Amino acid sequence: MGCIKSIFLVRESETTKGAYTLSIRDWDEVRGDNVKHYKIRKVDSGGYYITTRAQFETLQKLVKHYTEHADGLCHKLTTVCPTVKPQTQGLAKDAWEIPRESLRLEVKLRQGCFGEVWMGTWNGTTKVAIKTLKPGTMMPGAFLQEAQIMKKLRHDNLVPLYAVVSEEPIYIVTEFMSKGSLLDFLKEGDGKYLKLLQLVDTAAQIADGENLVCKIADFGLVRLTEDNEYTARQGMVNREVLEQVERGYRMPCPQGCPESLYELMNLCWKKDPDERPTLEYIQYFLEDYFTATEPQYQPGENL
């Protein structure tokens, strides 16, 4: 046939806000290699469906059902469409300073007192996140020195620096993370409805950009930003927060958070770095969390 039938992907609908589309690769003698699209609708009360006779609580359960039964689709779902990971090693390898004209700003994602973050395209081919900084908010010399180090840092769970425009207004070009910041994801949209099991799993795997994978961003840039004041909801500015933490203040246990997880948080907040757990320990702790705590932990409604 020349293609693998039933490769599929689920994506946000391009025409209907809040809906999704299931795209399945197919083949027949008349049309040859083709793709069929099925709209996934969201129920107001929660849940998803392609046809009203089969509704599911989550997209994951919907996909699982159609991997077992075609149930009106052209085929059962078999293979997830592979995601091509960004090739970061070769990008701007010898010349990370790029011309501003090679970047196209397309969608403004957010705006702050220091600048803006845009989704854009680099060289007309690569989707990237572009941070534009207002003049005076970054020390160019210090940033360029730091950027030299950042270019060498490569890890699946670090958002890589691709390139920069060092003349003001400074542009910082990084990998584009489609889900945005983890905080915004957890406070808005589908992220609000994640259960404890999913939250722990996400924290453990620091997953994979497009699949609830968390990555560290802005490392090394924060201390270079000439920060004035950030006012938290409680009314404290940065200086007051620092003073409170140095006096030993730590955030109280969040509502609904198991005590064992809060104990892990407090270990991570130890003043002496040598007393803090390693990332390896944290990963193992979270991966084995439900097994290790099963005798003491009773699942509640938030599971």
Same domain, 96 and 204: yes
User: Please, what is the Cα angle at 217 between 182 and 288, to 5 degrees?
Assistant: 60
| Rounded average pLDDT over 95-118 | 85
Domain range for 72 = 7-80
Q: Residue 47's domain is classified under what CATH number?
A: 3.30.505.10
Q: Is the pLDDT of residue 242 over 80?
A: yes
The average pLDDT across 168-193 equals: 77
- pLDDT higher than 90, residue 163: no
Residues 141 and 76 in one domain: no
pLDDT of residue 292: 52
Tokens of 277: 């757990």
* Residue where a domain stops, chosen among 39, 62, 80: 80
Largest Cα–Cα separation, the chain: 74
**pLDDT on residue 205:** 54
pTM, rounded to two decimals: 0.50
Q: What is the pLDDT of residues 41-92, one digit of tens each?
A: 888 778 888 988 889 988 889 999 999 988 888 888 988 887 665 554 544 4
Q: Is residue 275 part of a domain?
A: yes
Same domain, 151 and 217: yes
Strands 7-12 and 20-28: antiparallel
The number of folded domains in the chain is: 3
Do 216 and 300 lie in a common domain? no
246: three-class secondary structure by DSSP: helix
- Asked whether the predicted pLDDT for residue 199 surpasses 70, the reply is yes
d(C-alpha 123, C-alpha 71), whole Å: 43
At residue 106, the pLDDT reads 94
Share of the chain above pLDDT 90, in %: 13
Cα–chain center distance at 11: 15
Compute the distance between CA of residue 168 and CA of residue 140 in angstroms, rounded to an integer. 8
Alpha helices in 49-181 (DSSP H): 59-68, 140-150
Angle at 20 between CA 15 and CA 23, to 5 degrees: 95
- CA 187 to mean position of chain CA atoms: 13
234 within a domain of the structure (yes/no): no
Q: Is residue 289 part of a domain?
A: yes
The two tokens of residue 121 are 């395209």
The answer to whether residues 258 and 214 belong to one domain is: no
Three-class SS state of 108 = strand
DSSP 8-state code for residue 278: P
pLDDT of residue 280: 78
Asked whether residue 131 is marked as a ligand-binding residue, the answer is: yes
Q: H or E element: which one contains 280?
A: helix 279-287
Q: Of 60, 80, 100, which closes a domain?
A: 80
**Which residue, of 18, 47, 80, is where some domain finishes?**
80
Q: Are residues 164 and 131 in the same domain?
A: yes
- Of the chain, the percentage scoring pLDDT greater than 70 comes to 71
pLDDT band at 216 (very low <50, low <70, confident <90, very high): low
Spatial strand order in the sheet of 20-28: 54-56, 48-51, 32-42, 20-28, 7-12, 79-80
Q: Is residue 261 part of a domain?
A: yes
Identify whether residues 116 and 152 lie together within a single domain.
Answer: yes
